Every structure is written in C-alpha cells, then in structure tokens.
Amino acid sequence: MKYVIYGLLVTLLGFVSSCADDKGNYDYQVINELDITGIETGIAYRKIAYVDTLKISPEVKNLVGTEGDYTYEWKFIPSNADKDKGADSVNYVVATTKDLNLPVTLKAGSYTCFYNVKDKETEICWSQKFYLQVTSLTSEGWMILCEKDGQSRMDMVVNVDASTDIISRDIWSESDLVTGKPIRMMYNFLARGNGDVINLFACEKGTYRLDPVDMHAGEDNNIRWNFGAQPEHVYVRASEAMLYFSYKSESGKWIYPPLYWIVVDEKGDVYSNTVSTNGGLFDFPINEIDGVKFEAAPFLGNAYRYQGQGNLGGTSIMLYDKAGRFVEIRTGAGRPTVMKFKGDILFPAEQEGKEMVLLQSTVNNGLTYAVLKDGAGDYYYYGIILGTEGTNTQKYYGKLSGTDLDKATRFACHPILGVLFYATKDRIYKFDMKNPSQPVKEVCHFPGETIKVLKFNPFTAMRQYQAWEDLRSEHLVVGTTMDGADEGTCGVMRTYEFEPQWDKAPVKKKEHKNLGNIIDIAYKEVLL
C-alpha cells in the first residue's frame, strides 16, 4: 500500500505536504507514484525488548533520480500516545536510514509505525504504515507459580517462536513482599475500550492484581483496593470477566448490556464489579437466588468466543452451587440464577450431592467442561455450550470410568476433540467423551515425578496470533516436580499435542526443566 501524509491544509491541486512537519496527525491519502515493498503489513512485528533487533530492508521502486535524492525516516508511535497532552510535540523518530537495524529498547506495548520516504526537491513524502508489538521478559508468557521455603516464587517462560523459548527464574527475588504459601494464578481478558487484562495472584496473605508490565506484587496492587469496604484481606479463588460489548438477540435486536468482572472468595461468596465503565468496585456478596444464600464452588466458567463467531457475545458467567446446582450470571442481570437449557436435555441443572472438581472454559464456541464427584467417589463429566439470554445447550454427559480413577488428582478436557484427561501421581490417562465405551488409554508416564498441573490454557485476547501460537490452546500443559529434588530446581513444564486418531501417541512440543516447585501455570497475554 502506498500513502502520502497530509498534515497541513493546502489549496493547490496536486500539492502534498511534507511528512517531516507532521507530528501527531496520522491520516493518509493513497497515491501511486512510489512503490514501497518489503515491509510486513498483514501482521504486527513481534519483538522482545533488550533481546531482539528489528531488521527491515524495504525496496523502494519508481524512484526518480538516486537514493541520495531522498531522505528516510522510521517513526514509531505508541498506541497510548495522547495528542491532547503534548504527544504532537514528541519526536517518535527512531532511525533516519533507508534500512532499519534497530536493537529494540522500546517500552513494552503496541506501536503504529511509519516508514517515510521524502523527495528532497519536491518535499513530497510517501509513507508505509505497519505495526510493532514489543514485549518484555515479563509482559507476556507462561506464568509459573512456585513455592520455595514456604513463600511464593514466580518463573516465566516466553515463547519467542515455535521452537525457541526464554526462561526467567524467580522474577520476584528482589521483592520484600511476604506472601506465605502460593495458591493459584488467574488471568482474565477485559473487553473495555482498547482492552485490558487482569492477572491475579492468590497466596496465604491475600490476592494481588499483578502489574501488567513488570509483574510486581505489592500493597499498591492488593485486590482489597477493588472492594468498596476495603477489607484487610481478600482471598480470591476464581475470577472471570464477561468479554463482549454487544450481541444480537434471537429477534435480531442488538443488545448492549453491562459487563461484569466476577470473583469467588475462599468463603464461597461471589462479588460482581461492573467493568463496562471505569472505576467500578466490588460491593456486597451476590450469591443468593430467590432470597436464599448459596455457597459457590471455587470455579468460574466463561464463553471465550468473539462476536464474529455468529454474533454470540454476551454470554453468561457460569458458577456451581456447592449444594449441587449449575448457576449463571447473565449479562445485564448482575445476579445469579439457576442455569436454563434448551434443546436436548442430558442432565438436570440440579446435581445434588456432587462436588465440583473441574470447570474449564475453552475457545471452542462457548464450550465449557465440568467434572463432578459424588459421595461414592464416582466422577461425572459435563459439556455445556454457554449461550445468550439463558440459551445454554448440553453437549456431553456421562459417568467417567477408567484405570486408577480412585487415585485421580487432576482433570482437563481437550477444547476440540472431546477427550477428557485425568492424572494420578505420575500418569495421565485419556477418556473419549464422544465414545465412552472406548477403553481408557494411558498417554504419559513420569516415573519419579509428581504431576502438579494438568490443563489446557485458553488464549482469549483479541489479537492476531500466528498459527503456531493459536495451536497452543490445544496443547496439554503438564507441570511436574521431581521427587526428592531441590525445591528451587525440581519443576518441569511440558506441553503436548494430540491427534484426533485415538491410537496416536501425544507429541511433546516443549519441555523446560530446573523450574521451581510448581503450584500453578497460566498464560499472560498482551493486547495489540
């Protein structure tokens, strides 16, 4: 695409203003005299600050004269640049060479970039627009929550590309925060404005909303400041946020409901914060139905689906009543109700006497999995597609059977294949929910290790991922600790890819050793 910048009002036909005088006005008109190629425009360049170098060698065609008759400029404008607060006076030029060879030292964030080529004689300027996403070793990656000497430790793994990773160990080593034992990590994506993220870290001493750039935890980001009453401690056990601004109802009308950030604390109380506007606070517990209070299990489910997928935004947040009911909080409602279903009914909303051991959201069209355990020790699996206005549908239901189920400690469900995985101390088995008569199959064995994490991580930020990045939602994440090894280096993180064919062995995609004593793993995304 060929562009010419116009920043000054001109009246002479055919006259084009100089891009050198344009700061803060980033409007463009198409012209055809100059052809700039060799710059990626379909997807943002992705670089890690203080690690990577951005190299671009554009080809400029249809030059009149020689290259020396032109000046060259590379301008990188942060996405949060505010022209009303002096951004127009900021010099965003990072290089003045024809080719770019730039060690990346920019702050983590998104940048709108321009390659400007100006004719020295006529002062006509052509520009090619492109995008850059800069991350740091802490702004994006796998957050690996560990324990050492009764305190919390954070390791991070950054996926540079499909085969290369960078590991940062003990990124909180300089922190003086006393956390006590770590409990879990929680990540949420908020669809508000340009988007936002919530990274929650729960420990013995409370819950902290981690800084989005440097991941620090401290009193300044204690979650208690998000509560109107500002209690001394808040112990969050589950967190989810509704994702969409609007959706089209079955009657064809566009609905614009408020969106909620929902949390469940250690007492089973549920709190709601309106995130459609800035400044919302958690107030009073909302976990009651028809005036009767219930205790929520420490799980929340969400429909990680975009409006482009059939205009199915505006779905509910799913909960489970410890007394045995599937519960939802609908967009615009703000209060829980017993879940309603349409279509084929495989199971009732009330599952009295069953304890929830898994509630897992996916990026597969609103599909959410649950695993419940009854008083006799039997397990049951459920697949629920979360819809709008209580139009949830049931996809899977049955009694789980298989080897060593009485020793099962963790569960996870493949987002696409309809396969349930469960782990004992050192073995992983898979169960086919589509064909429950199929014998359970052992897929992994880790002798001398203990499985601490078993999960599929949904990637939920609305951004352009490369193909290998998108596939990570379908990779089983396994965190183990080596028995008897040093607490600081006993952790191992592995990811596996599975083929649809039942008899095919899993493919190990990544393995990282010498991590800390793993407690939980979650992926921290950034936004474009």
| pLDDT tens digits along 8-45 | 223 323 333 335 344 444 444 444 478 899 999 988 89
Tokens for 460?
Answer: 């939920």
Residue 104 confidence (pLDDT) = 95
Structure confidence at residue 84 as a pLDDT band (50, 70, 90):
very low
Domain 3-135 part of CATH 2.60.40.10: yes
Give mean pLDDT, residues 484-504: 96
Q: Where in the chain is the domain with CATH 2.60.40.10?
A: 3-135
Cα distances from 174 to residues 142, 217, 218, 219, 488, in angstroms, run 20, 11, 12, 15, 16
Structure confidence at residue 253 as a pLDDT band (50, 70, 90):
confident
| Residue owning tokens 């770019």 | 100
Question: Is 223:236 a contact under the CB 8 Å cutoff?
Answer: yes
Report whether pLDDT(2) > 60: no
Taking the C-alpha atoms of residue 286 and residue 329, their distance in angstroms, rounded to an integer, is 10
Q: Which range has highest mean pLDDT (13-17, 30-34, 244-248, 365-369)?
A: 365-369
Rounded mean pLDDT of the chain? 86
Residue 278 confidence (pLDDT) = 60
pTM for the full model?
Answer: 0.84
Residue 461 confidence (pLDDT) = 78
Residue 88 confidence (pLDDT) = 52
6 vs 350, which has greater pLDDT? Answer: 350
**What's the order of all strands across the beta sheet hosting 236-241?**
236-241, 260-265, 270-274
**pLDDT more than 70, % of the chain:** 86
Beta-carbon contacts of 525 under 8 Å, excluding residues fewer than 6 positions away, are 140, 187, 189, 197, 459, 460, 461, 463
Q: For residue range 103-155, list pLDDT tens digits in order.
A: 999 988 889 999 999 999 888 899 999 999 998 888 899 999 999 999 999 99
Residue 14 confidence (pLDDT) = 32
Residue 361 confidence (pLDDT) = 94
Residue ranges of E strands in 204-305: 206-209, 236-241, 247-248, 254-255, 260-265, 270-274, 288-289, 292-293
Q: For residue range 175-207, list pLDDT tens digits in order.
A: 999 999 999 999 987 755 445 688 999 999 999
DSSP secondary structure letter of residue 136: -
Residue 315 confidence (pLDDT) = 78
Taking the C-alpha atoms of residue 209 and residue 202, their distance in angstroms, rounded to an integer, is 9
H/E segment holding residue 468: helix 467-470
- Least reliable range by pLDDT among 216-220, 242-246, 258-262, 469-473: 242-246
Tokens for 210?
Answer: 């981690």
**pLDDT more than 90, % of the chain:** 64
Q: For residue range 54-70, list pLDDT tens digits in order.
A: 999 999 988 777 888 89
Residue 12 confidence (pLDDT) = 29
Give mean pLDDT, residues 383-393: 84
Structure confidence at residue 279 as a pLDDT band (50, 70, 90):
low
Report whether pLDDT(306) > 70: no
The one-letter amino acid at 36: I
- Least reliable range by pLDDT among 179-193, 237-251, 294-308, 445-459: 237-251
Give mean pLDDT, residues 406-434: 97
Closest Cα partner for 274 from 221, 335, 219?
A: 335
Report whether pLDDT(406) > 90: yes
Report whether pLDDT(265) > 70: yes
